Structure 1
């Protein structure tokens, strides 16, 4: 009954976005990409350019549901009467991108072990694998300035990101964004795999860089192995089916 009442207070488009984002949080938890009650995945509310959804601070990713996501504006005001607080660091970092980048509809920030390890290395992500080659020339970098709670850091984040939509936050973690949640999900999955392989390869021996001319061909041809439903859509749908079999409560 409470969920039905909550749903009746919003548009169908917002409820659909809430369910998609809640599913993403559960998928990240299932994949082992959560970090206690920290880190964030945010999604713009359709038709509301200055409003986005974020996880309730204090809940684990496994507890996130469509109904308990918090709707805030880019100035940090809660718009849906949610009783939950919002992590200040998450708001500061994500709001600046949602404010200034019209195409950044979904933003993902994580502290995975592999992502933090690679972001802490001077060379960053090296072109040593199938997955890493897809990111060559497409990753921005931002130096660590401490926990992200000061608004003035936002200007430097935007400047350092430039036209790229993937960033290694040095000594901190990874940041990806895209025009849709499925695309952002796939981008994060690919980056995570690339980081995991780099960490493993470094332990196994001496990683070999892929030649630039091969990388160029690889990046040119990648679109040829995608289904026509849109970037990340079939991948995300497959993972939604997986978590539905485990616990469908994210839909509430």
Structure 2
């Protein structure tokens, strides 16, 4: 019995380290793509196991500095369970992430950014427009949440998860973007598509009058987008190779 328990603990530690390494890589990829906002905004991931613990960045480190061991483990109330040299977490960041993790059992990871193009589209009256193939691949996965102020009010969690529903992408009005997926690779893939769609929209609108595809084309692309998360099987290994060539050392 003891041997099996020890083996189970070892398996959980290995599984947690895998999630830590992937999440640290995601932080550094956000910095690499220029989507970070000093020490603000957050990426989080559920820790494997029965304890309902989550990993989030220590408040004060830049995204390109994050390592697997520096991530802070918190419980569902935001209380620190385990940390590295920095144990602070941002309460506003935890409000948003805890809402999704607690409201969606399928959300193994949650990513939230204040990147300018994402904020710009979140503030556009019509939100994300079908101006590109990339945007059309996102539309059927997308929801919206109205701005209520800096997310310090725990009551907002109920409204945020209601607005997210079963979607994998969200525009937080006048605030930024959010994605949720089964794991870090899938969630980052959603994030990449959403951010790319926002970047294209900002450029397209700056060019003058835009051309919209037909309703049939939009509907067809929505149908084709249903397996979008599965692209992570190809995108994530490629992203890790890119990161290893630019900013290695996150897996320590």
Secondary structure of the 1:175 match is strand
Report if aligned partners of 2:113, 2:178 keep a CA contact under 8 Å in 1. yes
1:52 aligns to what? 54
Deviation at 1:210, TM superposition (A): 2.0
Distance 1:244 1:68 in 2: 18
Secondary structure of the 1:241 match is helix
Report if aligned partners of 2:140, 2:222 keep a CA contact under 8 Å in 1. no
Deviation at 1:128, TM superposition (A): 1.1
Deviation at 1:49, TM superposition (A): 5.8
Q: 1:216 aligns with which of 209, 216, 219?
A: 219
- Segments of structure 2 that go 5 or more residues without pairing to the other structure are 1-9
Distance 2:34 2:236 in 1: 16
Alignment map for 1:125-204 (pairs within 5 Å): 125-204=128-207
Distance 1:22 1:102 in 2: 22
C-alpha spacing 1:223/1:144, structure 2 compared with 1 (3 Å)? closer
Distance 1:221 1:101 in 2: 24
Distance 2:25 2:44 in 1: 12
Deviation at 1:16, TM superposition (A): 0.9
Range with greater deviation from structure 2 (205-214 or 15-24): 205-214
Deviation at 1:248, TM superposition (A): 1.8
The CA RMSD over aligned residues, in Å, is 1.9
Distance 2:234 2:51 in 1: 26
Q: 2:92 aligns with which of 76, 81, 89?
A: 89
- Segments of structure 1 that go 5 or more residues without pairing to the other structure are 1-7
C-alpha spacing 1:49/1:106, structure 2 compared with 1 (3 Å)? farther
Report if aligned partners of 1:201, 1:207 keep a CA contact under 8 Å in 2. yes
Distance 1:223 1:143 in 2: 25
1:206 aligns to what? 209
Runs of 4+ in 1 over 4 A off after TM superposition: none
Report if aligned partners of 2:147, 2:173 keep a CA contact under 8 Å in 1. yes
Report if aligned partners of 1:140, 1:160 keep a CA contact under 8 Å in 2. yes
Deviation at 1:137, TM superposition (A): 3.7
Distance 1:64 1:139 in 2: 29
2:234 aligns to what? 234
Deviation at 1:222, TM superposition (A): 4.6
Distance 1:215 1:193 in 2: 17
Distance 1:223 1:154 in 2: 27
Distance 2:90 2:110 in 1: 15
Q: 2:113 aligns with which of 102, 110, 124?
A: 110
Secondary structure of the 2:212 match is coil
Aligned length: 241
Distance 1:142 1:223 in 2: 22
